[in-house]
Amino acid sequence: MNYSLACVAFASFAFAGCGSPTFADAPSQAGTLTVPSGRYPARTDLLAVKIPDGAPARWHTAQFPPLRSMRLLPNTPDADLAADLRKQLNKAILDPTIYEQDVWMPVQADRITRLLDAHFGTPAAPTVRVPAWEQVVATGVVRFDQSVSFGANLKDIRTKLGKAKLKDWEADWQAANEAKAELKLDDATLARGSVVYRRWCMQCHGPSGAGDPAYAVEAGPMPRDYRQGVFKYVTAFPSPTAPKKAGLGASGKARRSDLIQTVRVGIEGTIMPAFGSLSDTELEDVVSYVIHLSVRGETEFATLMRASRPGGDDPIYESGELDWLFLQLELAVLINWGVAEKSEIPVPQEKPMTEKERIESAVRGFRLYNAPEFGCGSCHANYGRAQQLKWDAWGTIVQPRNLTLGVYRGGRTGKDLYARIYGGIVPVAMPSFGQHVTTAPSGTPDKIWDIVHFLHALADPADRKRMQHRDPTVKFDP
Ligand code: HEC
Ligand code: HEC
């Protein structure tokens, strides 16, 4: 990447490596960037709406998460690969900017834009609108029965629909409201968060959270695209059996404290800087705003997916049907965030250990790392030194971390690594390993702590020697 160009483009704020060392030193005239139209831009990148059965030959793993977003396809440096993907997906690609009778129509695109504006506001006046209960009912009912008007009273509606259905709706509506409150998505907080975001984050993450500024395409991992609603460095692990409301359900969502931590300390080894100089209030506010963008983006994403390729029993999503679909998805996304917030990974206290015990634990961790039940090496081949490229949920390429370097993006403490292994990293399909401790007989050593000790030892040449001294069968080369 051409850094001098980037420095010109980013002259109004301190860019790591461009002379101004930290964000704290940014010139005070650093302006708040504005969005030209005053509105959030509509989503225009390609979406893979339906993944064909079986893994296509050139996708690297059979368990590959659905390659939903293909935002980079048009400008990927590997034109050959792009052409191959397009061919394999064929009709399953939605280009939201191209209209075709019976596939995707301007009236649908237009209505989604209006719904997004009404429910999520503008960058200057952001909101997360959960309509009043009467309006939820009206939206749902108009969709069920065109003869029931908005003015119909609840009693008539209840008779028409049956109590059970209304109860479900009401439970969802309540859960969404609770999530909104818990996640601090009120208008005042969002308005303040938007200002912080436009000053410090928008250059990289974009006005709608797409994270695809042209300069970043080749600069290591792209800034996070919030619009799929999944995050990497999180301490939430919702029960795998919890009902999935929309998309991946609550899995892959962050807790507020995760996002605050990410913004405060940055992401080591990437261009995401640390914002240690933001006040606690600014951090809280900007994190609310990031969640707002994510809820907005995922609602848009999910609505586009469903409306453009209705399933067997689905209606054609227009007018009232589209309003109802959108509303249900918005509530579902909020509920998922609420579930994640409450599902903190239970990291047990690390046992105090002698040096000898720590090395013994690391040796056990070495065996677990290579045992089929964990199989870390199937992705982190040669401890991550081998280049084993994978696709991630955004349609970009990731390399399973080189674990010999001791550089971790989600934090280096034992607690951070424990959470990472326990919950996995959802958008890159690193599996969760929590079940190995929850089903272990009590009194046995905690397998995840053993692996954490191994990872710490692996990144330290002196510890590696100590491990081999204790057990000569320990090897660090293939
Ligand atoms: C110089 C570019 C840059 C700036 C400025 C920036 N970020 Fe990032 N951000 C990134 C990159 C790159 C990643 C992805 C790292 C990765 O995939 O590991 C990221 C990832 C994230 C994530 C995702 C973490 C996860 O667990 O998945 C969040 C949240 C985030 N940034 C928030 C912010 C906020 C809030 C601001 C402003 C206060 C900000 N970023 C400013 C580049 C930037
Ligand atoms: C299916 C493939 C896969 C498997 C199996 C896997 N990982 Fe990963 N892992 C990845 C990928 C991909 C990344 C890089 C994610 C990113 O870009 O941030 C990663 C990242 C990591 C990180 C870095 C986290 C950070 O904060 O930077 C650690 C630590 C890690 N893996 C440990 C393990 C351990 C230990 C195991 C076995 C218990 C394991 N992984 C199994 C794919 C895998």
9-23 residue pLDDT tens? 333 333 333 333 233
Alpha-carbon 37 to chain mean position:
27
Taking residues 461-477, report their average pLDDT.
94
Q: Residue 317: what pLDDT? A: 87
Percent of the residues in the chain that have a pLDDT greater than 70, as a whole number: 79
| Correct CATH for 355-470 of 1.20.1050, 2.60.120, 1.10.357, 1.10.760 | 1.10.760
257 ligand 1 Cβ < 6 A: no
Domain range annotation of the chain: 96-342, 355-470
For residue 85, give the amino acid letter. L
**pTM for this predicted structure:** 0.88
Query: Are the C-beta atoms of residues 470 and 359 closer than 8 Å to each other?
Result: yes
Distance of alpha carbon 126 from alpha carbon 116, whole angstroms: 11
Between the alpha carbon of residue 240 and those of residues 149, 367, 423, 428, 431, the distances in Å are 40, 27, 10, 17, 12
Between 231 and 315, the higher pLDDT residue: 231
**Ligand 1 centre and the CA of 64: distance in Å?**
24
| C-alpha dihedral sign at 72, 231, 221, 396 | negative
Which ligand neighbours the alpha carbon of 374 most closely?
Answer: 2
Which residues neighbour 435 within 8 Å (Cβ) at sequence distance 6 or greater? none
Asked whether the predicted pLDDT for residue 469 surpasses 90, the reply is yes
Asked whether the predicted pLDDT for residue 5 surpasses 90, the reply is no
Between 112 and 105, the higher pLDDT residue: 112
Q: Residue 61: what pLDDT? A: 44
How sure is the predictor about 278, in pLDDT bands with cuts at 50, 70 and 90?
very high
Locate 282 and state its tokens. 């600014």
Residue with tokens 């292994």: 421
203 ligand 1 Cβ < 6 A: yes
Locate 7 and state its tokens. 């420095």
| Ligand 2: nearest atom to the Cα of 269 | 27
Asked whether the predicted pLDDT for residue 308 surpasses 70, the reply is yes
| Ligand 2: nearest atom to the Cα of 420 | 24
29, HSE (Cβ side, Cα atoms, 13 Å): 2
| CA triple 320-325-330, angle to 5 deg | 125
Residue with tokens 């040669």: 382
Return the closest-CA partner of residue 264 out of 249, 281, 246, 247: 281
Query: Are the C-beta atoms of residues 107 and 62 closer than 8 Å to each other?
Result: no
223 ligand 1 Cβ < 6 A: yes
The separation between the first and the last C-alpha atoms of the chain, rounded to the nearest angstrom, is: 34
Query: Are the C-beta atoms of residues 286 and 257 closer than 8 Å to each other?
Result: no
Q: Which of 272, 397, 401 to mutate to test the pocket of ligand 2 (most atoms within 8 A of CB)?
A: 401
**Ligand 1 centre and the CA of 272: distance in Å?**
5
Distance of alpha carbon 168 from alpha carbon 163, whole angstroms: 9
Which ligand neighbours the alpha carbon of 404 most closely?
Answer: 2
377 ligand 2 Cβ < 6 A: no
Distance of alpha carbon 192 from alpha carbon 475, whole angstroms: 53
Asked whether the predicted pLDDT for residue 221 surpasses 80, the reply is yes
**Ligand 2 centre and the CA of 394: distance in Å?**
17
